[in-house]
Amino acid sequence: MDLFIGLDLGGTWLKYGLGDGDGRLLTRGKRPSEGQRGREAIFGSMINAVKELLGVAKEWGEVRAIGVGSPGLVDYQRGILMGGAPNLPGWEGADIRGVLEREFGIPTFADNDANVMALAEARLGAAREAKQAIFLTLGTGIGGGILIDGQLYRGAWFAGAELGHTVIKFDGRPCNCGNVGCVEQYASAPGMIRTYWEILAAKGMSPPAGLTTEQIFARAEQGEVEARKAIEDTAYYLGVALASFVNIFNPEVIVIGGGVAEAGDEFIRMAEQVAVRLAQDVATRGLRVVRASMGNEAGTVGAILLAVESYATLVSG
């Protein structure tokens, strides 16, 4: 049987799995990514994960390719990290393909983690069957993915699909990226928390320390109006960005994942209503806005699918 390895690199954990040509997981694991200890340590963790999976793979068949999802801007063609991974110091410039291919002699493909998750949702998850789709992951930041005619769209130099850095208010909150008013500053977890803080501060109330979005959702559930307003405002900001994406892409489906979205369908429904009200009517008629369905395995399964599809392209010429 043809087997494929997927590595899902994060700031804290490296998740990994072995799958078949349909992206079915045969086994999976997780170990510290060593993200704070520099490039060599991260590669060490990845190499140990691959060795472990190669050991398991022997009884099943042969590993044809390795797929890697990494934070930051990844040059998909060369498999090199071009930048934008602040949680992995020293990782910029990492030659993911080169190092793993030299180590294992197995074709290796790397892509942005948001693209890899989008691939999992596109092939096996919430956007299955869709040709034109948009993917957002609302977490510490906002990751983006774009499906065009059934394929991931990466841009001229693989730096596209940074949907979190779409401006929704040019005189708004400064963004880490150097721009101002990116939707990431409004609809990510820190964005929602900041909105909640501002609502409390405007009423002379002092915000609690170490707040999470889960707590904001719980407070709203208990009837706290400030928490409720923070959620509504965040859904509105997200809806504004979705309206722009609808006008730009006219997608069949928008898939929303990540911690903020997992809090419940109601948040997604609120954002959808805003988007449908603000976007051009014709573009919203068949639109579906849905939660991501692949859960915690999206990154690993997506990395396996990246390996499967990239390998198929490689061998077909």
List contacts with its own copies (CB under 8 A): 73, 82-84, 131-132, 144, 146, 148, 153-163, 165-172, 177-181, 236-237, 240-241, 243-244, 247-252, 277-283, 285-286
CA-to-CA dists, residue 27 to 44, 52, 105, 160, angstroms:
20, 11, 22, 32
Name which of 4 and 158 has its Cβ closer to its own copies.
158
CB of 28 to its own copies, least distance (A): 31
Question: Which of the 8 DSSP states describes residue 206?
Answer: P
What three-state secondary structure class fits 307?
Answer: helix
What three-state secondary structure class fits 316?
Answer: coil
Name which of 35 and 145 has its Cβ closer to its own copies.
145
Name which of 36 and 250 has its Cβ closer to its own copies.
250
CB of 80 to its own copies, least distance (A): 11
CB of 3 to its own copies, least distance (A): 31
Phi/psi of residue 127, nearest 5 degrees: -110, 20
Name which of 36 and 140 has its Cβ closer to its own copies.
140
CB of 87 to its own copies, least distance (A): 16
Instruction: Print burial letters for 148-165: b (CB count within 10 Å at least 16), e (below 16).
Output: eeeebebeeebebbbbbb
Name which of 203 and 285 has its Cβ closer to its own copies.
285
Which residues, 6+ apart, have CB-to-CB distance to 147 below 8 Å? 118, 122, 127, 130, 131, 132, 133, 134, 135, 153, 251
Total number of residues shown for the chain: 317
Name which of 74 and 303 has its Cβ closer to its own copies.
74
Which residues, 6+ apart, have CB-to-CB distance to 154 below 8 Å? 76, 111, 115, 160, 161
CB of 48 to its own copies, least distance (A): 30
CB of 253 to its own copies, least distance (A): 9
- Residue 227 identity (one-letter amino acid): A
Name which of 32 and 93 has its Cβ closer to its own copies.
93
Q: What CA–CA distance (Å, rounded) separates 317 from 313?
A: 6
CB of 132 to its own copies, least distance (A): 4
Question: Which of the 8 DSSP states describes residue 205?
Answer: P
Neighbouring-strand partners of residue 288: 253
CB of 174 to its own copies, least distance (A): 11
- Enter the tokens of residue 106: 């197995």
Name which of 49 and 118 has its Cβ closer to its own copies.
118
Positive or negative, the CA dihedral 110, 111, 112, 118 is negative
**Tokens 């809806």 identify what position?**
239
